[in-house]
Structure 1
Amino acid sequence: MNKIKAVIFDLDGTLGNTLPLCISAFRKSIEPLINHTLSDEEIIETFGPSEEGTIMALAPQYYEKGISSYLEFYRELHLMCPAPFDGIIDLLIALKNKSVRIAMVTGKGKHSTDISLKQFGIVQYFEAIETGIAAGSRKAEGIQNILDLFKDIQKNEVIYVGDAPSDITASKQVGVPVVAAAWAETAEAEKLKELHPDMLFDNIRDFSHWLTLNI
């Protein structure tokens, strides 16, 4: 692998343990509207599009109310995840100090992304942020947009860091090396391994050490 000049991060499950927060906010916002108890699996199955897509899938007749309620609960419940994973801020600072360009491509919608980045206090580290849409996953498109922005950097000098199988497939679709982040409690390392990421790490310390050796 060439020296890394740019890092593109996912958000949920990669920078912070926000997936349990997402599930709780969906449950609290949607269940009263549809009068039906939702399992974690029912909620997770809708992931890929932004939260607007999840509301559309689970409570289409209450779309506007569902969105506003979700964002309200997401903000209110964010104390479930008050800070990024240990080591993330130190890593972002180290990358900045080495003039490595940093971006984010997430499936989250813009509003929930803004809430989390403000809560974590890390928005200033990202040169560009691509968020999700209700219609479906657009990670490959988002990664390509970052590549277009970083046009003086080659694809093999960029890595995408994400915790989901879809992160690996999107990165491979665009032709960018991908690091599987398996350090969240919600990560499924075996499923990630099956897709043959370029690297896989189950803790941020080892990932940070590897990354600093390759920038």
Structure 2
Amino acid sequence: MNVSLNEVEALAKKATRGAGYPWGLAEDAAKAVRFLCSNGVDGCAALAGTLRVFDGAQLHNRMPRQVDGFWQAETGDACPIALGAALLDRAGLTTGQVQTVGPIVHPILLVPFIAQIALVNGCAMRFHAGSFQVVTDGKFIETLGAISEHADTARVEQEGKLKAPNSHVSRATPDAAVWDVLNAFAHKTYAPATEESRRKGAG
């Protein structure tokens, strides 16, 4: 498939909302997916995988909390969307510090939030998550290693600069099956047609 970044953002927002996330986190997720796609990373697949994990789950149990400098969910794996928003809310506190998180699913979804932290702090940030690393200055990213779907631990720190940033792209190329998954979640936000709406031509 070949779709615009606007289409990606719109569907990602509806899909995240359909999976039960509040509007604020749905908007954060949509912007995150768009950022990844614009940097040549398959954000759609990461979001689809995340929503599959947390669909129907008690999201409050997966909301992050910080204990002795370590971010983790109340139970099980942390949600990268909720964790990213929490880190961004405390962006100023990351200056000169190492933030450790995990376990977490689809950690690549944290990168757009880390990019925002880089902009706030005015310096490049490095993200280590299992098999891969990402360096970002807030606008561009450089990916190193194979992106994994899970990390037992990951860390965020101020470090270095980009040497070979990913090229920016204006369109995304998600797999059709992934797009179908996002559409299925998005359809959960649509109100069922009523008899009156059918008479007016809906449904």
Q: TM-score, normalised by structure 2?
A: 0.28
Choose between structure 1 and 2: higher strand proportion: 2
Choose between structure 1 and 2: higher helix proportion: 1
Q: TM-score, normalised by structure 1?
A: 0.27
